[in-house]
């Protein structure tokens, strides 16, 4: 019988941390690591930057309401059962609350060295890689990094071995539990040399009145000449909050394409860091945000050029209705020995209602010559002349807004695969119509897939100076 330890976030303490470790029979080095991180957490502010602190909505997460437990209910919410049925034939790992509900890993891929497991199993079986990931994310850098390092009660581990080219995607699905407890997830992904894989992360939560939190720290390591395509689709209920910190390290000629669609949650706070450590490494980050009601999105994306001839691209686009808000914080850092690097950072927002709000704080830190670096940001309300023109072409006001939004997103969509474009288009339609957020493969989604298969040339470049007018 497993004894559950429960605590609210405001009162998290060493005893709770020790009970997490004991329930999982963790080694002494990890227990010490957790305790040290907890002491750091207790002494850090929500935001270390005075500038960012001025704008953040992070206090929307009430630590008096966030309940933590060493283990949570395993029941699969009814709304999720159809989606889990669709994943039966896919490579996947399913996480319900703190529990790993299911892992589908074909024997032929297992024999080739592909590892998909819980973080607890990885601590036992892949301890050196876990240690490497834990050491990469310094608790001193961020309050929520420290919290996750101290109190993670779940997580997944994916290791793609050298020279393995996965033709099918790995699906990583997480849903918060129906008992109201929150999840602190430590996720680790390693892609070894010359490997290639696609990972799809889906985030859900049940509709309950309790303020639940999904607190995530993800370390991704892409080795020399490896390529990783990752899609994150955040579809949590608007009673929930999301705090996600992602760090990606890239080796020589490594490449990562990361696509994020952020649609759910009362508050979404994402801190995304790319470290281009090897010569020729490249990262492409594309983010789509669609907010309504009083949702708040706080996104910080940093690209760190550590070596020569590296390339980074960040494009964030927000669509905001009602009283929703977005804050985009971006930074390009090109270090002294990172000559001949190329970096681009852009944050753009379109406001569909007068009460919607968006702020952008882009920045550059350049420490060497012979580089290309640029950043831009814009916030614009919807153009009534465009609305009038489209209505004169027999479109309703809402249809006109949708058409303008579609054009706003088009340059960003060109870089995505047709499947990702279809999912994002489908979720945007769901937000317009106030439908439940999910990507169940029904007839409507199939129509989006059919359209997007032929709509764009996937190899077309993003128009770097595209600007909504």
Give the DSSP per-residue string, 161-174: -TT-B-SSPEEEEE
Q: Does residue 294 share a domain with residue 415? A: no
Boundary-marking domain end, from 335, 354, 382? 382
In this structure, the answer to whether residues 264 and 285 fall within a common structural domain is: yes
Same domain, 399 and 336: no
**Residues 65 and 170 occupy one common structural domain:** yes
Along the chain (469 residues), what's the average pLDDT of each consecutive run of 10 residues?
74 92 93 95 84 80 91 92 93 96 96 97 95 93 93 96 96 96 97 97 93 96 98 95 97 97 95 97 96 95 97 95 94 95 94 93 93 91 83 84 82 76 87 86 68 56 41
Please tell me whether residues 294 and 399 are part of one structural domain: no
Residue 315, strand partner residues: 286, 346
Q: Is residue 1 part of a domain?
A: no
349 lies in the same domain as 421: no
Burial class (CB in 10 A: 0-12, 13-18, 19+), 161: middle
The reported pLDDT for the residue numbered 31 is 95
Q: Supply the pLDDT for residue 465.
A: 44
Q: Are 338 and 307 in contact (CB under 8 A)?
A: yes
* Shared-domain flag, residues 156 and 245: yes
Summary count for the chain: helices (H), strands (E): 12, 21
Q: What is the pLDDT at residue 448?
A: 66
Final residue before a domain boundary, out of 382, 408, 434: 382
Domain identity same for 201 and 251 = yes
- What residue numbers bound the domain in which 427 lies? 383-469
Give yes or no: residues 359 and 391 share one domain. no
Retrieve residue 109's tokens: 């891929």
439 and 293 in a common domain: no
Last residue in a domain, options 327, 351, 382: 382
Beta bridge partner(s), residue 366: 334
Contact 176, 214 (CB under 8 A): yes
Is residue 69 within 8 A of residue 6, CB to CB? The reply is yes
What pLDDT is attached to residue 464?
44
Q: What sections of 26-169 are H helices per DSSP?
A: 28-41, 50-55, 81-86, 107-111, 119-125, 127-136, 143-151
Closest CA to 320 of 157, 171, 431, 458: 431
Q: How many domains does the chain have?
A: 2
Residues 152 and 75 in one domain: yes
Q: Is 86 left (phi over 0), alpha (psi -120 to 50) or beta?
A: alpha
């Amino acid at each position: 019988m497993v004894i559950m330890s429960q605590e609210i976030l405001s009162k998290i303490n060493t005893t709770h941390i020790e009970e997490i470790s004991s329930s999982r029979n963790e080694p002494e080095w990890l227990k010490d690591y957790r305790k040290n991180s907890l002491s750091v957490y207790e002494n850090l502010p929500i935001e270390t930057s005075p500038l960012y602190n001025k704008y953040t909505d992070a206090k929307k997460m009430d630590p008096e309401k966030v309940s933590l437990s060493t283990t949570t209910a395993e029941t699969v919410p009814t709304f999720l059962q159809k989606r889990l049925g669709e994943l039966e034939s896919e490579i996947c790992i399913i996480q319900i609350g703190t529990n790993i509900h299911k892992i589908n890993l074909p024997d032929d891929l297992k024999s080739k060295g592909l590892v998909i497991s819980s973080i607890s199993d990885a601590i036992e079986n892949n301890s050196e890689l876990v240690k490497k990931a834990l050491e990469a994310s310094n608790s001193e850098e961020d309050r929520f990094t420290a919290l996750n390092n101290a109190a993670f009660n779940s997580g997944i581990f994916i290791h793609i071995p050298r020279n393995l080219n996965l033709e099918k995607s790995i699906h990583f699905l997480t849903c918060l539990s129906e008992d109201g407890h929150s999840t602190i997830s430590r996720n680790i992904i390693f892609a070894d040399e010359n490997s290639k894989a696609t990972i799809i992360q889906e985030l859900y939560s049940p509709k309950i009145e309790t303020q639940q939190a999904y607190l995530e720290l993800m370390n991704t390591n892409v080795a020399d000449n490896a390529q990783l395509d990752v899609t994150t689709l955040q579809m949590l209920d608007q009673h929930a909050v999301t705090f996600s910190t992602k760090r990606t390290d890239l080796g020589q000629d490594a490449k990562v394409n990361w696509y994020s669609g952020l649609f759910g949650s009362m508050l979404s706070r994402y801190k995304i860091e790319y470290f281009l450590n090897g010569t020729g490494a490249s990262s492409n980050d594309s983010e789509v945000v669609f907010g309504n009601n009083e949702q708040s999105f706080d996104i910080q994306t940093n690209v760190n050029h550590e070596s020569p001839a590296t390339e980074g691209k960040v494009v964030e686009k927000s669509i905001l209705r009602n009283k929703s808000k977005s804050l985009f914080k971006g930074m390009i850092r090109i270090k002294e020995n990172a000559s001949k690097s190329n970096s681009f950072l852009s944050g753009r927002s379109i406001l569909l209602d007068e009460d919607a709000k968006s702020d952008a704080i882009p920045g550059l830190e350049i420490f060497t010559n012979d580089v290309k670096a640029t950043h831009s940001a814009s916030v614009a309300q919807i153009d009534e002349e465009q609305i009038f023109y489209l209505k004169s072409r027999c479109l309703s006001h809402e249809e006109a807004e949708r058409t303008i939004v579609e054009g706003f997103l088009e340059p960003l969509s060109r870089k995505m695969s047709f499947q990702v474009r279809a999912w994002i288009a489908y979720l945007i339609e769901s937000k317009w119509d106030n439908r439940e957020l999910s990507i169940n493969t029904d007839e409507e989604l199939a129509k989006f897939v059919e359209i997007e298969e032929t709509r764009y040339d996937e190899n077309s470049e993003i128009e770097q100076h595209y600007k909504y007018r």
